[in-house]
Amino acid sequence: MPPLPLSDRSGRTTDSPITFFIQKALETPGLISLAAGLVDEGSLPTADVAAAVAAIMADPAAGRAALQYGSTQGLPSLREKVLRHVCAADGVTPGDIGLSPDDVVLTTGSQQLLYLLGEALFDPGDIVLAEAPSYFVYHGVLQSHGVRVVPVPMDDGGLDVAALDAKLADLKRRGELGRVKLVYTVDYFQNPTGLTLAADRRPKLVEVVKKYSTEHRILILEDAAYRELRYTGPDLPSVKRFDPTNEFVAYASTFSKPLSPGLKLGYALLPSDLVAPVLHLKGNHDFGSANLAQHVVDRLLASGAFDRHVEELRRVYRAKRDAMLAALDAEFGDVPGASWTVPGGGLYVWLTLPPGVDAGPAGPLVPAALEAGVLYVPGEFGHVPGEGGELPRNECRLSFGVADAAGVREGVRRLRAAYRTLERAGARGLAAV
């Protein structure tokens, strides 16, 4: 059989590890998944969606509008509402930060925006600076675009903006600033760490990219997918909030986490001159995301059902987060050198095991955990190798999204049991890096 003539891009594009983990979680009965980024099942808004669709279809004009083609950019009334929603959270008017509904694009989840933005900006050999660790699916996107990721360290306040400044200075010295296109941050309850960018770093982040935008603009992609899932602390203003001329920050978010992944609807607030390039690409991808989902979300925002649902989700997830943190205290509190983040929201806790423990996909903890009936995402997936080729392997992303509180507790207990087999195995397990 003559071979398929695959493209260079195809050669750079690999399966996402999340596909494997979602499949594992869906297929294996009895397995507790602390891995998949699926959302809580019991709180999915089945009644709200049923009511919205019934109301739309009962009105012939509304029903026909929802089942007909929409536009590439998306339903105007929903773009307006999305803009109001973000600006209300930021305590500004759209005009204050140079935005109108024309700067809003509706996408097939926020993932599509992440992809489209890359297509609009990147050529192979370009550079993106990203938090270390970062959202591993986006690493796959960057690899597919042929982009080099330069990792920037994080601490409890999220992305280390001073370190970012230093990295950019270094790239400038090396003559590589012309290849730097973007800084990527998941700045609310980050996937995978659960960390949030500190309030005082937000305006500074914009200042830093401005400082290095001498020949061309360096953009910030603010991935705010988890913003609504906030359980403690105030809602911090977005990074976008500190870009009053709407030039430097693309704000991307989604209704998948705060409402329903099955609707697969995301949105972005874009610098005005980036809208047309993104829409031209999206015109080729699909000339518009599923219109029915846009009409459903539009109705749920208008009726207040969305806000009520977010309140309910906060209650549900807060309890599951607390269950996970308590279980970690109980099970891993006695492990010297183990630590974990205490996220104010989102779906993830980041567990750091003692140095030398190999929790990576090729290490002994993954099979031990599967044997014990629990699945986690190896933290290694969130990293790109550092300058010396080093790659941390002693970290785990633990999600409290899918399992209920009892499941979360049992999952952590099983993970501890799996870890215990490594402790017992001694040199073969814990020191076999």
Q: What is the DSSP string of 348-389?
A: EEEEEPPTT---STTSSHHHHHHHHTEE-EEGGGG----TT-
> 392 burial class (0-12, 13-18, 19+ CB within 10 angstroms)?
middle
Q: Among 185, 191, 253, 260, which residue interacts with its own copies (rule: CB under 8 A)?
A: 260
SS3 2: coil
Site string for its own copies, 86-125 (x = CB under 8 A): ----------------------xx-xx--x---xxxxx--
Cβ distance to its own copies smaller for residue 181 or 409 = 181
Residue 23 binding its own copies, by CB under 8 A:
yes
Residue 30 binding its own copies, by CB under 8 A:
no
Q: Among 34, 100, 205, 287, which residue interacts with its own copies (rule: CB under 8 A)?
A: 287
Contacting range for its own copies; rule: CB under 8 A; set: 48-56, 185-193, 412-420, 422-430 = 48-56
Backbone angles phi, psi at 168, to 5 degrees: -65, -40
Residues in the chain: 433
Cβ distance to its own copies smaller for residue 127 or 328 = 127
Look up residue 162 and give its two tokens.
Answer: 């001073």
Residue 8 binding its own copies, by CB under 8 A:
yes
Residue 275 binding its own copies, by CB under 8 A:
no
Residue 312 binding its own copies, by CB under 8 A:
no
Residue 271 binding its own copies, by CB under 8 A:
yes
Residues in 49-88 that interact with its own copies by CB under 8 A: 49-50, 53-54, 57-58, 60, 63-64, 66-72
Contact 111, 37 (CB under 8 A): no
Contact 192, 348 (CB under 8 A): yes
Instruction: Provide the terminal-to-terminal Cα distance of the chain, rounded to the nearest Å.
Output: 42
CB of 52 to its own copies, least distance (A): 9
Contact 257, 40 (CB under 8 A): no
Q: Among 217, 230, 241, 409, which residue interacts with its own copies (rule: CB under 8 A)?
A: 217
Q: Among 291, 352, 394, 399, which residue interacts with its own copies (rule: CB under 8 A)?
A: 291
Contacting range for its own copies; rule: CB under 8 A; set: 149-157, 208-216, 302-310, 372-380 = 208-216
Residue whose entry in the numeric block shows the structure tokens 């869906």: 26
Residue whose entry in the numeric block shows the structure tokens 């938090």: 131
Residues in 126-185 that interact with its own copies by CB under 8 A: 137, 140-141, 144, 181
Look up residue 139 and give its two tokens.
Answer: 């690493």
Residue 293 binding its own copies, by CB under 8 A:
yes
Q: How far apart are CA 75 and CA 137, in angstroms?
A: 28
Compute and round to an integer the Cα radius of gyration of the chain: 22
Q: Among 173, 245, 387, 390, which residue interacts with its own copies (rule: CB under 8 A)?
A: 245
